[in-house]
Amino acid sequence: METLMILLIGVLVSVATYLVLSRNVIRVILGTAVLSHAVHLLILTIGEVKKGEAPLLGNQTADGPYTDALPQALILTAIVISFAVTAFVLVLAFRAYKTNGTDDLEKLRGDEYD
């Protein structure tokens, strides 16, 4: 399972990298979004999957062993932060488009004295 997940992560990372390298601002932002997806999955996978019950103590269904809760807490934080960052970058992109009239990053290089 883990190997399969890691292969999926590899595909996601490749796609994200290709998107980040493009000229269109939206594609770059989508790239970062996919990249954060990949990383969330990666953290969870590295923490070993399917080794126990959900990390809820004293559940009627099971009483240990539990899956590792620490990666989950990390990912929870990461999800919210990546949402905030995506929102910020999105607004930055459309602000830049409004000001400069282009969404092409190669045209957004700025001049020498900027």
Partner 1 sequence: MRINDVILRTVVRFVVFIILTLAIYLFFAGHYSPGGGFIGGLVIASAFVLLYVTFDIEKVKKGIPVDFKKVAALGVFLAVGTGFGSVLFGVDFLTQAAKKFHIPLLGEKELGTVMLFELGVALTVVGVVMTIIVSIAEGDGD
Partner 2 sequence: MTIHLAIILPLLMAALIPFIYKLFTKIKIGWLVLLVPVTVFILLARFIPLISSGETRTYTYEWMPSLGINFTTYLDGLSMIFGLLISGVGALVVLYSIFYLSTKEALHNFYCYLLLFMGAMLGVVFSDNLMVLYAFWELTSVSSFLLIAFWHHRRASKAGARKSMLITVSGGIAMLAGFIMLHAMTDSFSIREIIAEMPALTNESLFIPAMICVLLGAFTKSAQFPFHIWLPDAMEAPTPVSAYLHSATMVKAGIYVVARLTPVFAYDLTWFWTVTIVGLITLFWGSFNAVKQTDLKALLAFSTVSQLGLIMSLFGMGSLAFHVDIDASTIIYTQAAFAALFHLMNHSTFKGALFMMVGIIDHEAGTRDIRRLGGLMTIMPATFTIAVIGSMSMAGLPPFNGFLSKEMFLTSALKVAEFDIFTLSSATALVPVIAWVASVFTFIYCMIIIFKTFFGTTEKLPQDRHIHEAPIGMLISPFVLVFFVIAIFFFPNVLAKYILAPAMLSVYPGLASMTDMTPHVYAWHGFNTELWMTIGVVVFGFVLYATLSKWRNIYNTIPAQFTLNNAFNRVLAEGENVSSFITKLYMTGSLRHYSLYMYGFLILVVGSYFAFSDTFRFSMENNAEIHVYEVLLVLVMAVAAVAMLFAKSCVTATVLNGVVGFGISLFFVIFRAPDLALTQLIVESVTTVLFLLCFTYLPTWKPEKTSHRQKMTNATISILVGLLVVAVSLSVLYFNEFKTISSFFENAYELAGGKNIVNTILGDFRAFDTMLEVVVLCIAGIGVYTMIKFRTKKGDDRHEN
Q: Which of 2, 91, 100, 102 binds partner 1 (CB under 8 A)?
A: 91
Query: Does residue 98 touch partner 1 according to CB under 8 A?
Result: yes
Contact 103, 26 (CB under 8 A): yes
Smallest distance from partner 2 to CB 85, Å = 7
Q: Which two tokens stand for residue 106?
A: 């190669």
Which residue, 1 or 57, is less far from partner 1 as judged by CB? 57
Smallest distance from partner 1 to CB 107, Å = 21
Query: Does residue 62 touch partner 1 according to CB under 8 A?
Result: no
CB neighbour list of residue 52: distance below 8 Å, 6 or more residues apart: 62, 64, 65, 66, 67
CB neighbour list of residue 17: distance below 8 Å, 6 or more residues apart: 31, 35
Query: Does residue 76 touch partner 1 according to CB under 8 A?
Result: yes
